[in-house]
Amino acid sequence: MTALGPSLPLVRVVALVGALGVAAAFFMPWFSSQGLLLSGQFLHNFLSNASPSDLRRFLPNSSPSEVQLLRLLVDLFPVCGLIGAVAVLAGAFIHRGRVIANVAWALSGLVPLGAWAVGIRQLPPGANPEVGLWLIGGGSLAVVVGGALELWTSRSNAGLPRRAPRTSTS
């Protein structure tokens, strides 16, 4: 049997799906509060375009720099997801930059997982986490686990001799 084209190892597929999930979660509801579903996209738009009086009303104890940091945190998740997806694919198909791609892969899972772990405890009083937040956590975990499995399998296969590829005689 001959290969029909490029393929990805299963651990890279797991990480790729996780990274794309983290990026897609930006558009899904993150939490509900007072009957409203708030997504990452809504929070980004609100934090970017709200007037100072609106910000004081909804974030009463926040300084302008804290609002900017919150917006950067909201934007961090889709950026890390896209970087992770590109790094997973680049590491599979580009051999010269594989180490750099794998480092970017690892960071693109660890950073949002850490931010999620801290942020999930900082939701407004009475807020309920929704599917987007769980997708960020699960997707980030998939990226990290995929990267760890890739490292483990590459280390365990490092000492094994390579087999010559089979050729079809038909």
Domains in the chain with CATH codes: 10-153 (1.20.140)
pLDDT class for 168, splitting at 50, 70, 90?
A: low
User: How far is 146 from 86, CA to CA, in rounded Å?
Assistant: 14
| Confidence label for 33 from pLDDT (cuts 50, 70 and 90) | confident
Measure the CA dihedral 142/148/153/158, to 10°: 150
How much of the chain is helix, strand and coil, in % rounded to 5? 70, 5, 25
Q: Check residue 162 and give its pLDDT.
A: 56
In this prediction, residues 9-26 reach a mean pLDDT of 95
pLDDT digits (tens, 9 = 90+) for 49-105: 989 888 888 887 888 888 898 899 999 999 999 999 999 999 888 888 888 998 999
pLDDT confidence band for 167 (50 / 70 / 90): low
Please tell me which residue, 116 or 164, carries the higher pLDDT value.
Answer: 116
Q: Name the more confident of 115 and 168.
A: 115
- Is the pLDDT at 163 greater than 80? The verdict is no
Please report, rounded to a whole number, the percentage of residues in the chain having pLDDT higher than 70: 89
List the structure tokens of 5: 């084209």
Question: For the chain, what percent of residues have pLDDT higher than 90?
Answer: 50
Contact 22, 136 (CB under 8 A): yes
Specify the pTM: 0.83
Average of per-residue pLDDT across 28-34: 89
Alpha helices in 37-96 (DSSP H): 40-49, 52-58, 64-93
